[in-house]
Amino acid sequence: MGNLIKITPRDNVGIVAHLDGLPMGTDVGNGVVLSEAIPMGHKVALSDLSPGDEVLRYGEVIGHAAQPIRKGEWVIGDKITMPRPPDLNLLSKGEEIIDGPAPSISGYTFEGFRNRDGSVGTKNILAISTSVQCVAGMSRYVEEKIRRELLPRYPNVDDVVTISHHYGCGVAIDAPAAIIPIRTLQNIARNPNFGGEVLVIGLGCEKLRPERLFPPGQSTDHSPAGDLLYLQDERFRSFSDMVSGIMDLADRHLRRLNAKRRETCPASVLVVGMQCGGSDSFSGITGNPVAGFAADLIVRAGGTVFFSEVTEVRDAIHLLVRRASSVQVAEALIQEMAWYDDYLARGGADRSANPTPGNRRGGLSNVVEKALGSVAKSGTSPIIDVVGPGERVRKKGLNFVATPASDFVCGTLQLAAGMNLHVFITGRGTPYGLSVVPVVKVSSNSKLGSRWSDLIDFDAGPIAHGQKTIEEMGWELFHQLLAVASGDQKVAADRLGLHNDLVLFNPGPIT
């Protein structure tokens, strides 16, 4: 509609596409004249609405009019009430399960670091895992020393990364929920970008004993068991003694990592985690559909894609269940939603705790509208499996990895699931980055894309103005992902060294 974006013919609201918004009196066509100035990304009523009438975007109900809304009026959050979430007990689990994936594509490759277990790294990193926060200062001290003194001797190693966290002691370690942070730490150590070279620093008196974290009997090619070091070990007679003990251990791992070289690998070994943060109303029109198109291409090339963020898919679960590849997968999806509903209820919260004030300023009225845009980044492939929080992926294809929507918690859990490349879509803007994997930041609007041109890796904004199609930009993003995975192109977060902390999801009690 020229100045407005209407997503499906059913919609009775349109989205202002113009970067500067539209002034009062603008004729947007079809007899709709704006009765007030409306900012970019916000909604315009395309017909008169009476209290209780459905407000439709993406062809779905995002709310009901809470008051009379005239055609041409700005539809902001408090003019509409939020619909109830889909009833998990009433979802169909099987009748509408979709067919197989779209036709496969072949011939797409990148240069990666092959591991003995078949996984492939997009970076070659030495990891220092820790069993407890008590050793965090020490491990960071050693990390800096390794970076300064050892890394220059090992040019094929990209970095050294400490996995520090607040877990490990002062926590109810045998509570049922403790399984989540514990398996997250175990599985992060198996991330493909660590190539199996992980050393573990423990204290000695903590609850989460390193041997519980990495049981010696379960040592595999890709497990760090055997390289545990306790600071309280009596063979260490001083701080400098401990430091040299860790440096020796690090040197052994670095030598092995340095022998690795990038090799040509098929795109089928990519494990791409999709996430959004700081979304706006454009996210569901530009950034997320482009990411979704690229996600489909990765899946069609035989690769693996994760989408996550339970609170941002909860209100679109009826659409996702239909895409489950089996009744079991549909049930697993519903089960993760139910677990999270309970988790929020125990904390006296519900899904309306999401969205943020920034999401609202970006034109998103409520979490229903946010969720309908959010799921677009999963593309259209069948959902092949559901991975619980902290678990490792089992199947190639599109996986739902159940995580909170919090950027750092989601990113951390996707790392544990085995992600080797991250796509992060933002409309409001965030300098988000992770040290373990490259994070390709996609802006949903060109206002952000140009203002933050040195922080954003890919601007999906041109779609909103009809300059490019989702398909064109989806292919562009796909090719950019291959270049980034190969190390040929550095993402902004890595170029600038902007890396967030890893944050464990601990739904269990602290003692």
Identify which range of 193-201, 241-249, 358-366, 406-414 contacts Ca ion by CB under 5 A: 406-414
**Secondary element (H or E) of residue 138:** helix 136-145
Closer Cβ to Ca ion, 208 or 409, answer by number: 409
Identify which range of 326-334, 400-408, 480-488, 496-504 contacts Ca ion by CB under 5 A: 400-408
CB of 401 to Ca ion, least distance (A): 12
Closer Cβ to Ca ion, 135 or 436, answer by number: 436
Among 280, 407, 457, 459, the residue binding Ca ion under the rule CB under 5 A is: 407
Could you give the angle at the alpha carbon of 505 between the alpha carbons of 503 and 506, nearest 5°? 120
CB of 310 to Ca ion, least distance (A): 11
Nearest to 195 by CA among 259, 272, 120: 120
CB of 376 to Ca ion, least distance (A): 14
CB of 111 to Ca ion, least distance (A): 29
- For residue 439, CA distances in Å to 102, 165, 221, 272 come to 26, 21, 27, 10
The pair of structure tokens assigned to 222 is: 């890709």
Cα separation, 312 vs 22, whole angstroms: 29
Strand order in the sheet with 74-75: 4-5, 13-16, 43-45, 74-75
Closer Cβ to Ca ion, 276 or 491, answer by number: 276
Identify which range of 27-35, 230-238, 254-262, 398-406 contacts Ca ion by CB under 5 A: 398-406
Closer Cβ to Ca ion, 229 or 413, answer by number: 413
- Asked if 60 touches Ca ion (CB under 5 A), the answer is no
Cα separation, 314 vs 340, whole angstroms: 9
Per CB under 5 A, contacts with Ca ion among 26-45 are none
Helix, strand, coil percent values for the chain (each to nearest 5):
35, 20, 45
CB of 39 to Ca ion, least distance (A): 23
Per CB under 5 A, contacts with Ca ion among 256-315 are 277
Closer Cβ to Ca ion, 164 or 414, answer by number: 414
Closer Cβ to Ca ion, 182 or 274, answer by number: 274
The pair of structure tokens assigned to 24 is: 């009062």
CB of 31 to Ca ion, least distance (A): 39
The pair of structure tokens assigned to 34 is: 């704006």
- For residue 212, CA distances in Å to 135, 215, 331 come to 17, 5, 31
Identify which range of 9-17, 297-305, 351-359, 407-415 contacts Ca ion by CB under 5 A: 407-415
- Asked if 367 touches Ca ion (CB under 5 A), the answer is no
CB of 405 to Ca ion, least distance (A): 4
- Asked if 405 touches Ca ion (CB under 5 A), the answer is yes
CB of 309 to Ca ion, least distance (A): 5
The DSSP string of 397-421 is EEEEE---S-HHHHHHHHHHHT-SE
Cα separation, 196 vs 185, whole angstroms: 14
Closer Cβ to Ca ion, 187 or 414, answer by number: 414
- Paired with 321 in beta bridges are none
C-beta separation of 438 from 494 below 8 A:
yes
Closer Cβ to Ca ion, 407 or 459, answer by number: 407
Per CB under 5 A, contacts with Ca ion among 10-29 are none
Closer Cβ to Ca ion, 124 or 444, answer by number: 444
Q: Which residues bind Ca ion (CB under 5 A)?
A: 277, 405, 407
